[in-house]
Amino acid sequence: MALIVQKFGGTSVGSVERICQVAEKVKDFRARGDDLVVVVSAMSGETNRLIDLAKAIQAEPDPREMDVIVSTGEQVTIALLAMALKERGVDAVSYTGSQVRILTDSAHTKARIQHIDDARMRADLSAGRVVIVAGFQGVDEQGNITTLGRGGSDTTGVALAAALKADECQIYTDVDGVYTTDPRVVENARRLDKITFEEMLEMASLGSKVLQIRAVEFAGKYNVPLRVLHSFKEGPGTLITLEDGAAMEQPVISGIAFNRDEAKLTIRGVPDTPGVAFKILGPVSAANIEVDMIVQNVSHDNTTDFTFTVHRNDVRKTQDILNQVAAQIGAREVGGDSKIVKVSIVGVGMRSHAGVASKMFQALSDEGINIQMISTSEIKISVVIDEKYLELAVRSLHSAFELDGDATEDRL
């Protein structure tokens, strides 16, 4: 008998009919003898509706009160699912985050989990009940309701699995696993049977939307086996787990991720003096703008060009900051380009294989795709290219690293 934590997202519980389908799935698992803790999100669209209500009252809603209102979405879902299970003869009980006592810090709308009291859940599991917990929410030491930020139900599921030392945390979504790349871009992309925490974390941070980054970080830290499954289709899904030594003998690359939300900014004619990078990026950081890739050209005539990428939504704000910085440090001009994308290859096999970068660059060169920026880590290589070449680049790299075909089904 296994202890399994299952998490169902908003689309999976988006209607009464779908909640009943989830109840049938949970009933089937319970019939096998598994102990189950089920984490659910609010019904799809409900959180946005609640946010709109708050903003209709207060343009910048009070964070504490915002947490109070948005947390009610999950409260509806847990009660409905408990009713659906009881209707099917399955003993179940629902709890909000505060009732389970998912203790968080007091950072309203973006709280972090500090401790989980598992006593109540273990007592219910011992009594043969299915425990249903509201995702996305907790309570601080003062008893205030807190929320974990959008997508926080994934983190709730993983955190509960860690606290309960569950055998597996299953994340049910509208896809049947993690693919070598987006199947909408590459038709013959393949589902991976397994992928490591490191690879999944890179894929998530580089543009893959399958799992929330914080959930993957939490799972890796506490070694919680994660499995991504389709809510309403049968299949093994993709298991996310620790690196297997045998994986080093497998193909080098696990997947290709891409991000369409990048923009590039360049400040030209920068005086090449110590501390100039901080003078440029310090004000950008102070404005809470995240910088991704950074390139500084070789100095000519004691000046250099400094280029970095930010989210497209931050371009105008960043340009305004750079124009002020340029005037202060005596730089020549500021330029920007929002028509770029970032394409990345990811794989733990890179650690033991040479020539990965050259193979990537050769594949792009063969298609006449110019690389504007390059960033590397131990298990990933990212390049910035013109956005019009995105799909061509992903397809060519998918083929160059032999991710097409049935071999990817047993990648690790």
pLDDT, tens digit (0-9, with 9 covering 90-100), for 86-120? 999 999 999 999 999 999 999 999 999 999 999 99
pLDDT above 70: percentage of residues in the chain? 95
Assigned token pair, 336: 């920007």
What per-residue confidence (pLDDT) applies to 378? 87
180 is in an annotated binding site: no
Q: What are the CA-CA distances from residue 185 to residues 19, 178, 372 (Å)?
A: 31, 14, 22
Mean pLDDT of 149-167: 92
Assigned token pair, 384: 């910035």
Q: Which three-class secondary structure state does DSSP give residue 375? A: strand
Q: pTM for the full model?
A: 0.82
**Helix H segments across 192-314?**
197-205, 213-222, 276-286
Q: What are the CA-CA distances from residue 83 to residues 80, 172, 211 (Å)?
A: 5, 20, 28
Helix, strand, coil percentages for the chain (3-state, nearest 5): 40, 25, 35
Instruction: Give CA–CA dist 155/148, Å, rounded.
Output: 8
Q: Sign of torsion, CA 239 245 246 252?
A: positive
55-64 long-range Cβ contacts below 8 angstroms, 24+ apart: 63/108, 63/109, 64/108, 64/144
What per-residue confidence (pLDDT) applies to 407? 42
Query: Is it the case that residue 350 has pLDDT exceeding 50?
Result: yes
What per-residue confidence (pLDDT) applies to 339? 94
Tokens 């809470």, located at residue: 288
Burial of 312 (0-12, 13-18, 19+ CB in 10 A): middle
CATH 3.30.2130.10 placement within the chain = 244-405
Residues in Cβ contact with 234 at an 8 Å cutoff, skipping those fewer than 6 apart: none
74 is in an annotated binding site: yes
237 is in an annotated binding site: no
CATH architecture of 244-405: 2-Layer Sandwich (3.30)
Q: How confident is the model at residue 354 (pLDDT cuts 50, 70, 90)?
A: confident
10 is in an annotated binding site: yes
Query: Is it the case that residue 406 has pLDDT exceeding 90?
Result: no
Tokens 């947490």, located at residue: 67
Mean pLDDT of 215-224: 90
86 is in an annotated binding site: no
More confident position, 346 or 150: 346
Tokens 């994934």, located at residue: 154
How many residues in total does the chain contain? 412
CATH 3.40.1160.10 placement within the chain = 3-174
Q: How confident is the model at residue 247 (pLDDT cuts 50, 70, 90)?
A: very low
209 is in an annotated binding site: yes
CATH class held by domain 3-174: alpha beta
Phi-psi region of 207 (alpha: psi -120 to 50; beta: other; left: phi over 0): left
What per-residue confidence (pLDDT) applies to 410? 40
Give the angle subtended at the CA of 289 by the CAs of 285 and 295, to the nearest 5°. 75
222 is in an annotated binding site: no
176 is in an annotated binding site: no
